[in-house]
């Protein structure tokens, strides 16, 4: 009997061990199955997320890491843009090549696009009509700074200057430094006297003046203030042709030489000349050069800011 019970217990123990083994196996299978399912799910989600990212990048060029297809589109766009930029630059260069060089605008607002102001001192005279004939032929205007005795002597020339649209300016009366620069009052007195003569001949007065030999060194600050207070605008020049000294075609070469040095400067180009026979004879040569090189010749206007500095101390 005891042997039977022992055998039964032994068999029961085996069955219990088998059950536990089966349960353990089932547990492991369940755990592995759950882990594998979760992994598949995670992989699926990751693939889905990656696919969505690719699709989003494909239609949003702002995102980094765009698809290969989008990269190709960018390359094509880049080539087209580069071609357009190249064509635009070519057109810009062609326009620049055809354009006339322009001087930069000055602080006073008068520049300008290669503009020259021709001025003649000491007239009117016997050569005034000849000078005006040349100016008319070239269709340009100039400015004449005239002396009172000469205006009274050559009244018809003054009337013609006025009639043909040239600017009329005053140069005083005596053209004698010892007389006109005796005091600020004598400067104003000579200009007033010359203005009275101009008004008598043409019926008009002017504010434009140029003092003999230029403003330096004679026109001291109080002298300049005196003429300004009287309503006058004092003008000097930026190019001295030296026609008063050369009395030959050399004045043209001298003017052109100075003009070339001023090509990249911004101040107005005011050329000083005189009513002389040699100036008249060679004036066409100077105007030809100016025309061929794109310069426009204009008269001085009252609303312009005067040039009161000088290139040369030699003078009128």
d(CA 207, CA 123): 17
If one compares 61 and 202, the residue with the highest pLDDT of the two is 202
Question: For residue 21, what pLDDT is reported?
Answer: 72
Instruction: Look at phi and psi of residue 121 and say left if phi exceeds 0, alpha if psi is from -120 to 50, else beta.
Output: beta
Residue 23 is predicted with a pLDDT of 72
pLDDT on residue 266: 86
**Which SS3 state, helix, strand or coil, does residue 99 take?**
coil
Percent of the chain with pLDDT strictly greater than 90? 60
For residue 118, say if its preceding peptide bond is cis, omega within 30 degrees of 0: no
Residue 69 DSSP SS3:
helix
Q: What is the pLDDT of residue 265?
A: 85
Which region among 29-43, 123-137, 251-265 has the lowest average model confidence (pLDDT)? Answer: 29-43
For residue 160, pLDDT over 50 is answered with: yes
Q: Quote the CA–CA distance of 305 and 301 in Å, as a whole number.
A: 9
Look at the alpha carbons of 179, 184, 189, 190 in this order and tell me if their dihedral is positive or negative.
positive
Q: Pick the more confident residue, 110 or 283.
A: 283
DSSP at 208: E
As a whole number, mean pLDDT of residues 292-316 equals: 80
Q: Is the pLDDT reported for residue 48 higher than 80?
A: no
Q: Coil, strand, or helix at residue 117?
A: strand
pLDDT at 3 exceeding the cut of 60: no
Q: Determine the Cα–Cα distance for residues 248 and 258; give it in Å rounded to an integer.
A: 17
Of 26-30, 50-54, 204-208, which range is least confident? 50-54
Query: What is residue 47's three-state secondary structure?
Result: helix
Whether 18 and 10 have beta carbons less than 8 Å apart is answered as: no
Cβ neighbors of 147 (< 8 A, separation 6 or more) are: 122, 123, 171, 172, 173, 175, 194
Phi, psi of 75 (to 5 degrees): -60, -40
Query: In which band, very low, low, confident or very high, does the pLDDT at 205 lie, cut at 50, 70 and 90?
Result: very high
Helices (H) and strands (E) in the chain, counts: 11, 8
Q: What is the pLDDT of residues 101-139, one digit of tens each?
A: 233 334 344 445 699 999 999 999 999 999 999 999 999
pLDDT at position 14: 65
CB neighbour list of residue 58: distance below 8 Å, 6 or more residues apart: 66, 67, 69, 70
Question: Mind giving me the DSSP string for 140-189?
Answer: ---EEEE-HHHHHH-HHHHHHHHHTT-EEEE--SS--HHHHTS-HHHHHH
CB within 8 A of 123, min separation 6: which ones?
144, 145, 146, 147, 150, 154, 157, 275
Domains and CATH numbers, the chain: 2-98 (no CATH), 115-298 (3.20.20.370)
Helix (H/G/I), strand (E/B), else coil: 87:
helix
Looking at residue 29, the DSSP 8-state letter turns out to be H
Element (H, E) at 240: strand 239-240
Given a contact cutoff of 8 angstroms between Cβ atoms, the answer to whether 293 and 264 are in contact is: no
What is the rounded distance in angstroms from the CA atom of residue 284 to the CA atom of residue 249?
A: 11
């Amino acid at each position: 009997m005891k042997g039977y019970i022992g055998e039964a217990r032994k068999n029961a123990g085996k069955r219990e061990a088998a059950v536990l083994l089966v349960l353990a196996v089932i547990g492991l299978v369940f755990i592995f199955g759950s882990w594998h399912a979760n992994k598949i799910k995670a992989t699926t989600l990751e693939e889905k997320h990656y696919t969505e990212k690719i699709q989003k990048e494909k239609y949003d060029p702002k995102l980094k890491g765009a698809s290969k297809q989008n990269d190709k589109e960018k390359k094509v766009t880049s080539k087209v843009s580069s071609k357009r930029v190249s064509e635009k630059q070519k057109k810009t260069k062609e326009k620049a090549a055809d354009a006339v060089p322009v001087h930069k605008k000055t602080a006073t607002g008068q520049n300008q696009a290669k503009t020259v102001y021709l001025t003649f001192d000491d007239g009117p005279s016997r050569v005034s009509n000849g000078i005006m004939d040349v100016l008319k032929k070239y269709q340009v205007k100039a400015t004449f700074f005239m002396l009172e005795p000469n205006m009274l002597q050559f009244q018809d020339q003054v009337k013609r200057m006025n009639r043909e649209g040239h600017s009329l300016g005053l140069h005083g009366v005596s053209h004698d430094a010892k007389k006109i620069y005796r005091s600020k009052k004598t400067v104003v007195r000579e200009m007033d006297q010359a203005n009275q003569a101009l008004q008598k001949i043409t019926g008009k007065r002017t504010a434009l003046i140029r003092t003999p030999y230029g403003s330096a060194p004679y026109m001291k600050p109080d002298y300049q203030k005196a003429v300004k207070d009287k309503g006058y605008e004092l003008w000097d020049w930026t190019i001295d042709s030296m026609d008063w000294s050369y009395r030959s075609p050399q004045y043209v070469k001298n003017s052109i030489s100075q003009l070339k040095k001023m090509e990249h400067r911004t101040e107005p180009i005011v050329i000083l000349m005189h009513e002389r026979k040699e100036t008249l004879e060679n004036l066409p040569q100077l105007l030809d050069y100016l025309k061929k090189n794109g310069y426009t010749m204009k008269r001085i206007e009252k609303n312009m800011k005067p040039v009161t500095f000088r290139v040369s101390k030699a003078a009128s």
